[in-house]
Amino acid sequence: MAGFLYVMAAAFMWGLIGVFTKFILNAGVSALEIAFWRAMFGWVFFLIHAAAAGQLKAHRNDLPALLGFGVICVTLFYGAYQIAIRDVGMAMAAVLLYTAPAWVALLSRVVLKEELTLVKTACVAMTVLGVTCISLGPKLMSGATIELNVFGLSAGLLSGFTYALYYIFGKKFLHRYPTPTIFVYALPFGALLLLPFIDFTPKSAETWLLLLGMALVTSYGAFSVYYAGLKRMDATHASVIATFEPLVAAVLAFFLFGEQFSLLGYAGSSLIIIAVLLVVLSGQQAGRTARNEG
């Protein structure tokens, strides 16, 4: 039960990314500057954690992988997701983010040489169809349609792709390190690569508190409780529970900002969520089969 509550807390915290982003964007801060401060403040929290736990050291040979992870999880992932929220809305950005399991299925075949089963292939097709459906446009409660653009949709898909790379990268290169150690090296490097694209703006004390709270809740807090949950339950169940993130984001977007999908958009969102569950559950079944054969 404790593991379930930890992972549910992580899903809820990640679902708040769009809420923080919306308020900070309204304060005149750009999407990439939000990504920068989310990473840098998050780094401070992870640095304190790693120092207290004695987890600061990394092997010199692993530094290229750790820094490369910074490019993926901050420069590309953080940046793309903030842009997607800005351009296509909080609810759609969260759904596009969860195209990640389909990307994982494809990348696992290419990078990790894992079998691309019929179920995984079907899930990829369902994800593509789901994205096509939701791209027809979310609406506001007033009846107005949120204007979509190719750049925003592409940013949403890029966030899903880089989120998938997060798992592939971790499985192939970074499984030897605890979470705080990885983020101590990855977050500042990835944030620094965003600097050439940012025009920093003056901020009120309230905006600084929102940026600090965003990093504390959605970076340090979410990842910390997620991995605390993983210690108490298997990764497959944790992955299923984490898919509540887009649901949380969609509900909050509806009540706070009046965002909603068309009927076809809701159908597309459902296809993506179903594809996520099928990929995860098929992985669970494969794991059981392997253990039985062993």
Cα R_g (the chain), whole angstroms: 19
For the segment 46-72, the average pLDDT, to the nearest whole number, is 93
Arithmetic mean of pLDDT, 254-265: 80
Cα–Cα distance between 240 and 238 in angstroms, integer?
5
Report yes or no: 87 and 152 within 8 Å, Cβ to Cβ: yes
Q: Which of 108-112, 116-120, 164-168, 205-209 has the highest mean pLDDT?
A: 205-209
More confident residue, 293 or 70: 70
Residue 9: CA atoms inside 13 Å, Cβ hemisphere, count? 19
Q: What's the mean pLDDT in 254-280?
A: 78
pLDDT in tens, 2-44: 878 898 899 899 999 999 999 999 999 999 999 999 999 999 9
pLDDT at residue 245 in the model: 81
* pLDDT at residue 287, rounded to an integer: 55
What does the chain look like in DSSP terms, one character per residue? Answer: -HHHHHHHHHHHHHHTHHHHHHHHHHTT--HHHHHHHHHHHHHHHHHHHHHHHT-----GGGHHHHHHHHIIIIIIHHHHHHHHHHHH-HHHHHHHHTTHHHHHHHHHHHTS-----HHHHHHHHHHHHHHHHHTT-EEETTSPBPPP-HHHHHHHHHHHHHHHHHHHHIIIIITTS-HHHHHHHHHHHHHHTTGGG-------HHHHHHHHHHIIIIIIIHHHHHHHHHTTS-HHHHHHHHTHHHHHHHHHHHHHH-EEE-HHHHHHHHHHHHHHHHHHHHHHHHHHHHHHH-
Q: How confident is the model at residue 238 (pLDDT cuts 50, 70, 90)?
A: low
Tell me what the mean pLDDT of segment 87-97 comes to: 86
Mean pLDDT within 83-96: 88
CA distance 223 to 221: 6
Residue 143 predicted with pLDDT over 70? no
**100: amino acid identity, one letter:** A
Task: Please tell me which of 26-30, 101-105, 280-284 the model is most confident about, judged by mean pLDDT.
Answer: 26-30
The neighbouring-strand residues paired with 264 are none
CA 184 to each of CA 62, 138, 179, 286: distance values in angstroms, whole numbers, following the listed order? 13, 37, 9, 34
The three state secondary structure string of 84-127 is HHHHHCHHHHHHHHCCHHHHHHHHHHHCCCCCCCHHHHHHHHHH
Cβ atoms of 33 and 198 closer than 8 Å: yes
Is pLDDT above 60 for 149? yes
- For the chain, give the number of residues: 294
Above 90 in pLDDT, residue 154?
A: yes
Q: How many CA atoms lie within 13 A of 123 on its CB side?
A: 25
pLDDT in tens, 176-210: 888 899 899 999 999 999 999 999 999 999 999 99
User: For 138, phi and psi rounded to 5 degrees?
Assistant: -75, 165
Would the pLDDT of 140 be above 60?
Answer: no
Q: Average pLDDT of the chain?
A: 83
Across 107-116, 151-160, 170-179, 245-254, which has the greatest mean pLDDT? 151-160
What is the predicted pLDDT for the residue at 294?
Answer: 54
